[in-house]
Structure 1
Amino acid sequence: MVNLTWEVLNVIGTMAFAISGAIVAMREEYDLLGVYVLSFVTAFGGGAVRNVLLGLPVSLLWEQQMLFIIVFVVVSLLMVLPQLIIKPWNRWGHFFDAIGLSAFAIQGAMLASQAGHSLAAVIVAATLTGTGGGIIRDVLVGRKPLVFRDEIYALWAALAGFIVGMGWVIPPWTTYFLFVIVVVLRMVSVFYKWRLPKARAIQTSEEERRS
């Protein structure tokens, strides 16, 4: 039952990230291949980067055949019947995205923790797994990654990694409790439009630049 619940969350998160990538590609007027590529990169990019950094076989990515099929079907439906998915996405997109962020961040953190990596590595693994796909997506479309300049997003993934890395999570029930907490924090930050302080630009005078 526990594994089934986690797999459902994994599927929902993967679908959410795939849809977000496909919608970005369609808004950027990508061709058919571009839409599929960007959706797959967004859905699986974070996990792939995490595996490389943790020294795990990249081939693990290709063992997720069912998720590949699900992403392909969902993206195909999006392009054939866009209103069927885009309207619900506009209403519930942040919620599904928060589920994906939380599930993937915790998965990445637990994978790094079980491999015996340091706290810093666990936090990095959680952050990259939860946000890596979106970062790669934004880079490919030529824009600054939203996770670093808009809403509080990556911070929640890092928080999940910190909690797991400190050993405060004992599967399965505390894992699900952490999952709910991260989803709630993400949605609260969206609702109240929380922002991290922005770095001030360094202004130099003409004389300083010449010296």
Structure 2
Amino acid sequence: MTWEVLSIIGTIAFAISGAIVAMEEEYDLLGVYILGIVTAFGGGAVRNLLIGVPVSALWEQGPLFLVALASMTMVYLFPKQMLPPWKRWGNFFDALGLSAFAIQGALYAAKMGHPLSAVIVAAVLTGSGGGIIRDVLAGRKPLVLRAEIYAAWAILAGIAVGLKWAESPIELYVLFVAVASLRVLSYTYGWKLPRRAAGEQAGGQ
């Protein structure tokens, strides 16, 4: 499976998730398309700004924009047919998208000679930035920062690429499978990072 195919899977997953959130918030047709596009491409756009890639590079992804538009249109026109399978398999495809996009973002930064910190940030923004922007625009608390472990797996991908643990195609594919599998396990078993409300003392007092 090529990175292009993985990009398509991730684009479809993120575009559909954005469209579904917009429909849940009862946005109009334009709102559905905007939220879907932002979810699929917003993280990559912010990443490009931070690591010095021209934002215009996004317009070279014309085929992916068409894929995103087609996916959102299908969801909007046929919600009763599309939503049940999405609820069953959506998290799985989202995990594939997270893994593929995080690794690609890390590779972008690494190839430009940026330090490890920038590689990690690029991985996180590409893998989960679109979802954060989506939730903010929808007036929700970003799920990737408070639900099951999500962004942490993108950090793992960034570390592996930044430290050159994964360089060859085979190593990158192994990393892809590992990150996607960890994401699947985290939502399947409800793994969460430690959290504490403001003012809460150790021991829950």
Q: TM-score, normalised by structure 1?
A: 0.93
Question: 93, 98, 101: which is aligned to 1:101?
Answer: 98
Between the aligned partners of 1:11 and 1:131, the Cα distance in structure 2 is 16
Q: Is residue 85 of structure 2 the alignment partner of residue 88 of structure 1?
A: yes
SS at structure 1 position matched to 2:2: helix
* Greater mean deviation of Cα atoms: 164-173 or 19-28: 164-173
Question: 88, 113, 116: which is aligned to 1:116?
Answer: 113
Number of the residue aligned with 1:10: 7
Q: Is residue 69 of structure 2 the alignment partner of residue 72 of structure 1?
A: yes
* Greater mean deviation of Cα atoms: 83-92 or 52-61: 83-92
Number of the residue aligned with 2:44: 47
Alignment of 1:1-211 (within 5 A): 5-202=2-199
Residue 200 of structure 1 and its aligned partner are, at CA, apart by 3.5
Residue 48 of structure 1 and its aligned partner are, at CA, apart by 0.3
Between the aligned partners of 1:125 and 1:50, the Cα distance in structure 2 is 5
RMSD across aligned positions (CA) = 1.2
Between the aligned partners of 1:148 and 1:199, the Cα distance in structure 2 is 13
Residue 84 of structure 1 and its aligned partner are, at CA, apart by 2.5
The share of aligned pairs that are identical, in percent, is: 63
| 1:9-51 deviation per Cα after TM superposition (whole angstroms, max 9, x unaligned) | 1000000000000000000000000000000000000100000
Letter in 1 for 2:143: L
SS at structure 2 position matched to 1:199: coil
Letter in 1 for 2:83: I
**What is the number of residues matched between the two proteins?**
201
Letter in 2 for 1:9: L
Residue 202 of structure 1 and its aligned partner are, at CA, apart by 2.0
SS at structure 1 position matched to 2:22: helix
* Greater mean deviation of Cα atoms: 80-89 or 19-28: 80-89
| 1:138-171 deviation per Cα after TM superposition (whole angstroms, max 9, x unaligned) | 1101111111111100000000000100011122
SS at structure 2 position matched to 1:41: helix
Considering only CA atoms, is the larger Rg found in Structure 1 or Structure 2?
A: 1
Write out the 4+ residue segments of structure 1 that deviate beyond 6 Å after TM superposition: none
Letter in 2 for 1:31: D
Between the aligned partners of 1:171 and 1:24, the Cα distance in structure 2 is 37
